[in-house]
Amino acid sequence: MKLFALAFGTLVFAGGMMAAYLLGVDVSALPSQRGAVTFTDRSGMPLGTVLASDATHAVAVPLDRISPEFLRAIVAAEDARFARHGAIDLVAMARALRDFAVFGQARSGASTIEMQLARLLHPTPSTLAGKLLQIARAERIAVRSSKPAILEAYVNRVPMGGNLYGVEAAARTYFGEAAGDLDLAQASLLAAIPNDPTRLAPDVDWRALRARQRYVLNRMVELSEISRPEANRAVAETLHVRAHDAGISDAAHALFSLYPHVRTGRVRTTLDRTLQRFVQAQTQDVIGALEAYHVTDAAALVVDNHTGDVLAYVGSPDYFSDEALGRNDGVTALRQPGSSLKPFMYELALERRAIISTSILPDVPAAYALPGGKLYQPADYSGRFSGPVRVRYALANSLNLPAVHVLSAVGVGDFLQRLHDLGFVHLDRPPSYYGLGLTLGGGEVSLWELVGAYVTLARNGAPVPLHLLAGQHPVAHLGDSATWALVTDMLADSHARAKSFGVHSVLEMPFPAAVKTGTSSDFRDTWTVGFTRDYTVGAWVGNFDGSPMRGVSGVTGAGPLWNRIMLHLHERDDPPPFDPPRGFVRASICTTTGHAPRSDCPAVVQEWVLPRDVASVRRAIPARLGSEYDPWLALHPNDAAGSPLRIVFPRSGDVFVRNSTVNGLQAREQQLSLRAVDTGRAIRWTANGNAVPLDASGTAFWPVRTGTWTFEATDGRNRDRVTVRVVPQRQDANPGFTVLRPPRYSYYRR
């Protein structure tokens, strides 16, 4: 049997040697391997290095980008006679056979670098036949490849512990440096690993690795590659080896998404490392605060509106937490958007004049016919109905019934096409699949797509592709810039959304900001996306496993994360105000009819309207409905019917409390919004004779100061005045904005 095995092995060896000369392998012509990519932020600060994860996709760099110290060390450790033999080192093989005969085991290796490379390219079993086949393949390499090509192929594929292969991967992972920057101490340590990569990885057996390093340095001294003092200094040098997973410190989801699309080397991204770290920390903190509500996951995206640069990209609270499904990417995952698509539907309806800014929409029970004799009966989140409402109020409070009513007028197909134009590529079913529920989130989109659409809204209909690498350019304009600006104005109106969200919710910013929330069915997804002139921030909070949260909505789930990021972005300077919608004018309208107020109008507001629409009415409704569906104005009904000009807020005799601190901290400046019923003429305001400036929307905001104040409003022909008092905060008072009146009129704004 032994003779048969020996004869068979001899034949295999002879055949292999013959094949080597007939079918040699030039390793320099092997397919190029994927290399390591070091990513930096927009200013060149390192974010991390992405490495290949297996031998067939090893990190590859040319010899001239590898430290000469490492090349000398690896040759000294693995094949000292590399330059003087072919595929087989006959001297080393004879020595190994001698040791085996004398001591019963080989005391020195005979495997050459060519043989090791052959085994890396084509693994073979540790048998006599496998060894002979390995030698034959090494001969194929040797007869067609130069020594530098063989060494380069080897050092780029050699196992370096764990799932690391090649000197570049090891250098960047263990030391955070390129292979070309290794010094003698680092090079000799890495050259020690291939002898037993499973045991000698730095995080497995540090003492054994250091002992092998000393062996490598001693071999280099014996071969006159270095001097003894140099070896001693290398042994004494303190080496700081990083943890195996420390190659990526920031934006892991973004870097892994970019890696397949870039070349080896150093790649600059659009990310801002400081902002990225802030958003990562806030994402983890918000999820921790919501743990009791069965919330485990979140994602956030921050974009520069002027360029489309992605400044921060957080796909999950912790990419490296497999237990928490952290490798899922919440930025690209498809989830139901809830009401976050409504602004785009309203913009399209305004653009096509299916509605106008003064239209009155029905928030009443309704049923819509569906194919198959079925009925669709949408309901609002609150479970209540507000009756006839203004467009601004319907959008700001995210009412479902008015939105479905408007979509039925616009058409599902047209709205779906607009969403496609905005970049929602995953809404790929026909209109009949989504139906009227499309505007309520009856589809699946990604946070990336949603934020991109809101960037278009922030840019008044001028899309710009979101990107992590520079070089993208704006694309064709969508729709009418004036209607985009009008929708922005509605989303930035904190008083318009007061009924559903309150005036001082996490959606309110101390600067101009437009924002929209979304909550999918069964509380599985919550969204908050909003923008200033400079930045768009999108946040998603939910669970990757699809389980529902416990009563968490867009404003309570994703809202706090959005709030923290937006405040951080503008902590130094307030953003400029939004542009008013071009071609529109401010006009007084009745909240119940949508046209010029009459003496029986219960409440009057100002709205942006086109001059031709000032007196138009889109829907006949009862003359008086009560003002419960406009909570801000309900506090101050117009009690001066027929008067040409009347101040409706504040009223004479009001007493306000000025808060200097909130929970021991300095409170931000409080303001009163001065409001009046006007006659269509521009109104000027004064406080104790001093002019009160108007903001971009034409509203007067007066900074609260203690004392007695007389406000006067005039339109040049008519005038009205009221007197109020502002008193300082009591020590035991609750923080907030309080109006002191008899109980029937008291209210508290939080």
- pLDDT score at 374: 61
CA distance 576 to 579: 9
- Rounded to the nearest 10°, the torsion over CA 99, 105, 107, 112 is 90
- pLDDT score at 638: 37
Neighbours of 423 (CB within 10 A): 21
Classify 42 as helix, strand or coil. Answer: coil
> Quick check: 491 and 507 in contact, CB under 8 A?
no
Neighbours of 406 (CB within 10 A): 24
Whether the predicted pLDDT of 11 surpasses 60: no
* Alpha carbon distances (Å) from 345 to 356, 359, 390, 536: 13, 15, 16, 19
Q: Pick 175 or 424 by higher pLDDT.
A: 424
Contacts of 424 (CB under 8 A, 6+ apart): 443, 445, 449, 453
- pLDDT score at 658: 76
Locate the DSSP E strands across 104-157. none
| 513-565 pLDDT tens trace | 999 999 887 778 899 999 999 999 999 998 888 888 877 775 778 889 999 99
Q: Pick 191 or 135 by higher pLDDT.
A: 191
| 375-420 pLDDT tens trace | 667 777 666 777 888 999 999 999 999 999 999 999 999 999 999 9
> Quick check: 268 and 280 in contact, CB under 8 A?
no
Three-state SS annotation for 546-595? CCCCCCCCCCCCCHHHHHHHHHHHCCCCCCCCCCCCCCCEEEEEECCCCC
Q: Which has the minimum average pLDDT: 525-539, 592-606, 705-719?
A: 592-606
Pairing of β 700-703 and β 37-40: unpaired
| 340-387 pLDDT tens trace | 999 999 999 999 999 999 999 988 777 666 665 566 677 776 667 778
Classify 11 as helix, strand or coil. Answer: helix
Most confident range (mean pLDDT) of 368-372, 568-572, 675-679, 694-698 is 568-572
Phi, psi of 627 (to 5 degrees): -110, 25
> Quick check: 532 and 571 in contact, CB under 8 A?
no
- pLDDT score at 96: 59
- pLDDT score at 467: 95
CATH 3.40.50.280 fits 271-334+445-479+497-575, yes or no: no
549 phi-psi bin (left φ>0, alpha ψ -120 to 50, beta other)? beta
Whether the predicted pLDDT of 746 surpasses 50: no
Classify 503 as helix, strand or coil. Answer: coil
> Quick check: 607 and 357 in contact, CB under 8 A?
yes
CA distance 159 to 176: 18
Locate the DSSP E strands across 150-275. 265-268
CA distance 521 to 663: 36
How confident is the model over 3-18, as a mean pLDDT? 52
CA distance 465 to 402: 31
CA distance 266 to 258: 12
CATH 3.40.50.720 fits 2-30+52-236, yes or no: no
- DSSP symbol at 157: T
Classify 442 as helix, strand or coil. Answer: coil
| 247-292 pLDDT tens trace | 677 898 999 889 888 876 788 999 999 999 999 999 999 998 888 8
- pLDDT score at 109: 58
| Average pLDDT for the chain | 80
CA distance 71 to 77: 10
Whether the predicted pLDDT of 635 surpasses 50: no
> Quick check: 227 and 221 in contact, CB under 8 A?
yes
* Alpha carbon distances (Å) from 477 to 464, 532, 737: 9, 20, 43
CA distance 468 to 332: 14
Query: Which tokens in the block code for residue 293?
Result: 């509500």
Q: What are the beta bridge partners of residue 541?
A: 298, 526
> Quick check: 262 and 37 in contact, CB under 8 A?
yes
> Quick check: 496 and 548 in contact, CB under 8 A?
no
Most confident range (mean pLDDT) of 524-528, 591-595, 714-718 is 524-528
Pairing of β 387-390 and β 360-363: antiparallel
How much of the chain is in helix, strand and coil states, percent to nearest 5?
Answer: 35, 20, 45
Q: In this structure, which CATH number among 3.30.70.260, 3.30.160.110, 2.60.40.10, 3.40.50.12280 belongs to the domain 635-749?
A: 2.60.40.10
Whether the predicted pLDDT of 17 surpasses 60: no
* Alpha carbon distances (Å) from 597 to 53, 399, 681: 71, 25, 14
**Residue ranges covered by each domain of the chain:** 2-30+52-236, 271-334+445-479+497-575, 635-749
> Quick check: 692 and 700 in contact, CB under 8 A?
yes
Classify 526 as helix, strand or coil. Answer: strand
Query: Which tokens in the block code for residue 44?
Result: 């060149």
Q: Pick 137 or 332 by higher pLDDT.
A: 332
- pLDDT score at 620: 30
CA distance 305 to 210: 52
| Sign of the four-CA dihedral 569, 486, 352, 396 | positive
Whether the predicted pLDDT of 637 surpasses 60: no
How confident is the model over 430-436, as a mean pLDDT? 91
> Quick check: 419 and 344 in contact, CB under 8 A?
yes
- pLDDT score at 322: 74
Cβ density class 574-604: b for 16+ within 10 Å, e for less: ebeebebbeebeebbbbbbbbbbbeeebbbb
Q: With 0.85 as the threshold, say if the pTM is over it.
A: no
For helices 342-351 and 400-410, the axis angle rounded to 10 degrees is 50
Q: Pick 630 or 454 by higher pLDDT.
A: 454
Neighbours of 50 (CB within 10 A): 24
Q: What are the beta bridge partners of residue 368?
A: 376
Closest listed residue to residue 618, CA positions, set 255, 357, 386: 357
Three-state SS annotation for 643-665? CCCEEEECCCCCEEEECCEECCE
How large a percentage of the chain has pLDDT more than 70? Answer: 78
Owner of token pair 């290398």:
234
Classify 207 as helix, strand or coil. Answer: helix
Per DSSP, the residues of 612-626 read GGTT--SS---S---
Most confident range (mean pLDDT) of 56-60, 693-697, 704-708 is 704-708
CA distance 733 to 549: 35
Closest listed residue to residue 588, CA positions, set 512, 645, 651, 514: 645
Classify 335 as helix, strand or coil. Answer: strand
Cis peptide preceding 512, ω within 30 of 0: no
CA distance 598 to 642: 7
Q: What are the beta bridge partners of residue 729?
A: none
For helices 400-410 and 412-421, the axis angle rounded to 10 degrees is 90
- pLDDT score at 640: 34
Classify 53 as helix, strand or coil. Answer: coil
> Quick check: 703 and 669 in contact, CB under 8 A?
yes
Per DSSP, the residues of 55-66 read GGG-----GGGS
Q: Pick 312 or 680 by higher pLDDT.
A: 312
Sheet containing 46-50: order of strands: 46-50, 37-40, 265-268
